[in-house]
Amino acid sequence: MRRIALVLLAGFLAIAPASSAVEGFPDRADSLKFAVLGDNGTGEKPQYDVGRQMAVAHMTFPFDTVIMLGDNMYGRQESQDFINKFERPYATLLQAGVLFYATLGNHDNQNNRFYKGFNMGGERYFTFVKKNVRFFVLDSNQLDPMQQAWLDAALQRSAEDWRICYFHHPIYSDGGRHGSDVSLRVALEPLLVKYRVNVVFSGHDHVYERLKPQKGITYFVSGSGGELRKGDVRPSAMTAAYFDQDQSFMLVEVAGDDLFFEAVARTGTMVDSGVIHRGRADSGETR
């Protein structure tokens, strides 16, 4: 019995954060708390490690939403894969009633939008509201005229305090393998700027990066929720912070006019944190 207790304790210590990753959040009762996960669906150990770390964070930072930035599933995508690459790694969170909202990446089968666990309602692009935040979820594999027209109308209609957009391919990134998708940026950015989107999350580059605000919008790349391209960031003048040495995910709290964020490594170490003030182009300072 004692041996079992010791093993459990050792296991807990192994996954517990080295420094408490969630201390800096205001933890307001009326705030929205969510996690951010990208390029995660490998079904391999690092994905499970990140899943466990998210569960640990959930104990002290009870988020009810996870936004998935695409490549939610790599390789084969049959029914057993939905278990091995999604339901098992995040079993604790799913059992706690956390809802995952996915976008499609280049490795995702387009039919995965019908999978209940991804809450996409069968759509390639959609919008949903949580408290004072409206999320716009896009399919960046190709930005067809229908999707652009839809986004224009949806952004125009939105009356919430915060507008957060997420899609798989980053329009700003210092990832060495992919980097910024400039053609997508030229097509998309005018709408994001016009309707004053506050924050954009993307994946695709298997690293974590926070960009300095571009035309008033803060961009994050969080594409190492399972995959990792170690040492891939090529820092530039637009880099605010980055972490490319291990898998990571993000925790976010939107409290009034402030958005607090933390990037957490697979080991539980906090690798970046900060706050973004709504309506301030120079926001995004490190805490």
d(CA 51, CA 136): 24
Q: What backbone torsions phi and psi does residue 192 show, to the nearest 5 degrees?
A: -65, -40
Q: Please pick, from the candidates 141, 224, 247, 248, the single residue that binds other proteins as defined by CB under 8 A.
A: 141
* Closest distance of CB 232 from other proteins, Å: 12
Contacting residue, 42, 72, 140, 158, with other proteins by CB under 8 A: 140
Does position 76 bind other proteins by CB under 8 A? yes
Question: How large is the angle between the packed helices 182-194 and 145-157, nearest 10 degrees?
Answer: 30
Distance in angstroms (rounded) separating the CA atoms of residues 96 and 51? 13
74 interacts with other proteins by CB under 8 A = yes
Rounded to whole angstroms, how far apart are CA atoms 220 and 213? Answer: 10
Q: Residue 135 and residue 121: Cα distance in Å, rounded?
A: 14
Here the tokens at position 101 are: 């909202």
Cα dihedral 77/78/84/86 (nearest 10): 60
Stretch that binds other proteins, among 16-24, 68-76, 192-200, 242-250 (CB under 8 A): 68-76
Site string for other proteins, 86-125 (x = CB under 8 A): ------------------x-xxxxx---------------
Q: Which 162-191 positions form the footprint of other proteins (CB under 8 A)?
A: 169, 177-179, 181-187
Question: Nearer Cβ to other proteins, position 205 or 253?
Answer: 205
> Tokens 């957490």, residue?
264
Residue 149 as a binder of other proteins (CB under 8 A): the answer is yes
Which 207-246 residues touch other proteins, going by CB under 8 A?
none
User: What residues line the site for other proteins (CB under 8 A)?
Assistant: 74-77, 104, 106-110, 140-147, 149, 169, 177-179, 181-187
